[in-house]
Structure 1
Amino acid sequence: MLSSPPQIREIKWADVGGWTGQGGSLLGTKRTLPAKHVEKIAEQMRMNNINALLIVGGFEAFLSLLELITARGKYDEFCVPMVMVPATVSNNVPGSDLSIGADTALNAITTTCDRIKQSASGTKRRVFIIETMGGYCGYLASVGGLAAGADAAYIYEEPFDIKDLQANVEHLTEKMKTSIQRGLVLRNENCNENYTTDFIYQLYSEEGKGVFDSRKNVLGHMQQGGAPSPFDRNFGTKISAKAMQWVTKKLTETFRHDEGRVFANTEDSCCLLGMRRRALVFQPVVQLKDETDFVHRIPKEQWWLKLRPLMKILAKYKTSYDVSDSGQLEHVIRNRPKESDASVAM
């Protein structure tokens, strides 16, 4: 809508054939927030008779929805149903446990870590320092580290200091005396402005001198490429279909027959569709503001932090794992229909 001339066209079924298996953003991406361009966007929505918005994206998409709902007071064009589908490898969108693309990136990180460890299968006493993406969100480093069997994963959400780094070096030194003489350390790109990947690599190299040597690797944008994982393909299809059902329902509810137009200005007409545990839930974006750390662009509470002690336990650190949250352990129980119900269904 902001390009000149605006690139707005109708997309039909034939235009999206094969998109499920392709990586990247075939619709295009733009990080520009709408606040400074609301008048132009409103004009284009009016000219093209746009009566609803489905926004696909990460934290910028979340901020965009907040700005568009604020602009409703000045422009009626934004008084339409608006819904966001979270899609970012960083998995840092408030209101959703998972985002489209995060699983694919996680697969790329785990596969790369496995290959790096395999490349050193004949080399003993070596530690790999690997930097992952994610902004300030440590999801990729933590869950990727758990999957790849990392000895440590440094993230912003869990502050660490030089004493923690020294403890990790000492732990790896002891590990080299066992039959497993390889180490793997992951670092989120923004976990600490001073303890950079180079700093940690040099520290491990110096402190481990004579015991093990170190190598570093910055994965970079390799985490964003490749074909989507089966989970992301199915998740994207499922969540988008549910979003379109919601849009269709809202259009019916908010259509004013006397005026011949759609008018939706309530909080629940501007939502984020996120996965909460195993359910897809529509949440008004204005209600998610209290759950958000806008400075660091992450949710204030993140479910995967409870998994981090598991990584330390598997790396043979002396620690405990909290299993008090029964929701993480409960099983899915499928209720079998009674014989009478089954006969009726037949």
Structure 2
Amino acid sequence: MKKIGVLTSGGDAPGMNAAIRAVVRKAIFHGIEVYGIYNGYQGLMEGNIEKLEIGSVGDIIQRGGTMLYSARSEKFKTEEGQKVAIEQLNKFGIEGLIVIGGDGSFQGAVKLTEKGYPCIGVPGTIDNDIPGTDFTIGFDTALNTIIDAIDKIRDTATSHERTYVIEVMGRDAGDLALWAGLADGAESILIPEKPHDFDMVIDRLKRGHERGKKHSIIVLAEGVGKGMDLGEKIQESTAMETRVTVLGHIQRGGRPTGQDRVLASRLGAKAVDLLMEGKAGRMVGIQNNELVDHEITQVLTHKHELDMNMVNLANELSI
């Protein structure tokens, strides 16, 4: 293999740049040319592709977002769109492709692999919702962003003796809410994987108030419901002054943590190794701090499982 491509797709995640850097420099070290594909699969179909050199990825390891940009493409999901993408790969002589993104991005990688173009997936999403890996690129940074925000909100909650509802990202996965809630000592953590009992939330707030607790923090994953709705229900049920903060896209940005930079570098380099070994249709991951790889089709047919032991621990510690 003499030429490979790399693209980022779907939602951006801190650490994607570190992964791109690792792919480019690992490949060049082994005498392989690397082509950056801008704007994801949309850019692939449009031929928005250029050769990357060692200097092309200099001074990006500390930057959030993705230097290759990202976009979602409905056209690429069609046979026609995939045909156009393959024509562009042939035009540039690209023999293998590394796709950094989430499950939607991996579906595209599977389609290209089935049509003869070996693809390797690198899991990059703040939601940490990809099976086959303990952590995804961007999760740790997003988690620390949330923790920092809750720490600041707690200062105000304490000063004004208020209850705060913090809505975080996680449409289908509660990892961010669970980890942040446990790290910040939230009274209640509401996640998509576990039906919540509103009465239990209220009982816990009232018990805390009765023993002299002056403020409370409730962390809500967006997939459970709207923070404003929950805040209104709490205030109506308890008469406690309640405020709501929706963190939104601030969770996706910022400088990646050391953990995300190292994880991204390891996964990006491993993806190049797999292409050099002649493998295709695989996803790299990390389990028990060891690099692993799985068939992408198996990853896509399994559901990410939340660690319910952590859920139980959070409940025990928030009495």
TM surpasses 0.5: yes
2:124 matched to 1:87?
A: yes
Aligned to 1:309: 312
Instruction: Pick one of 130, 138, 143 that aligns with 1:106.
Output: 143
For the pair shown, the structure with the greater C-alpha radius of gyration is: 1
For residues 309 and 32 of structure 1, the distance between their equivalents in structure 2, rounded to whole angstroms, comes to 40
In structure 2, what is the equivalent of residue 52 of structure 1?
Answer: 96
Which of 171, 180, 184 aligns to 2:213? It is: 180
| Mapped partners of 2:85, 2:98: distance in 1 | 15
Question: How big is each residue's C-alpha offset from its partner over 1:281-310, in whole Å with a ceiling of 9 and x where there is no partner?
Answer: 110112224313xxxxxx2x23x3321111
Q: Contact 1:31–1:60 at 8 Å: present in 2 too? A: no
Indicate how the Cα distance of structure 1 residues 11 and 109 shifts in structure 2: closer, same or farther if over 3 A, else same: same
Runs (5+) with no aligned partner, structure 2: 1-40
Query: In 1, are the aligned partners of 2:157 and 2:164 still within 8 Å (CA)?
Result: no
Judge which range, 151-160 or 107-116, deviates more: 151-160
- On the 8 A contact 1:91/1:134 being kept in 2, the answer is no
- The aligned runs of 1:1-346 (5 Å cut-off) are 2-3=42-43, 6-32=47-73, 34-36=76-78, 37-70=81-114, 72=115, 79-124=116-161, 126-160=162-196, 164-192=197-225, 196-209=226-239, 212-250=240-278, 269-292=280-303, 299=304, 301-302=305-306, 304-316=307-319
2:274–2:280 contact (8 Å) kept in structure 1? no
1:46, CA displacement in angstroms?
0.8
**Residues 42, 73 of structure 2: 8 Å contact kept:** no
Residue in 1 aligned with 2:34?
A: none
Secondary structure of residue in 2 paired with 1:114? helix
Give the superposition deviation at 1:241.
1.2
Q: Report the CA distance between 1:159 and its aligned residue.
A: 1.6
Amino acid at match of 1:112: A
CA deviation profile, 1:117-148 (whole Å, cap 9, x unmatched):
01233233x21001001221111111111111
Superposed CA deviations along residues 82-118 of structure 1, whole A, max 9, x for unmatched, are 1111001111122222110011000000000000001
Matched AA of 1:137: A
Q: What secondary structure sits across from 1:272 in the alignment?
A: strand
Distance 1:81 1:129 in 2: 46
**CA distance, structure 1, for counterparts of residue 113 and residue 274 of structure 2:** 18
Q: How many correspondences in the alignment?
A: 275
| Whole-angstrom distance in 1 between the partners of 2:99 and 2:199 | 45
Query: CA deviation digits over 1:148-187, x for unaligned, max 9?
Result: 1111111111123xxx112211211110122432111011
Helix, strand or coil at the partner of 1:282: strand
Identity of aligned residues (%): 27
Unaligned runs of 5+ in 1: 73-78, 251-267, 293-298, 317-346
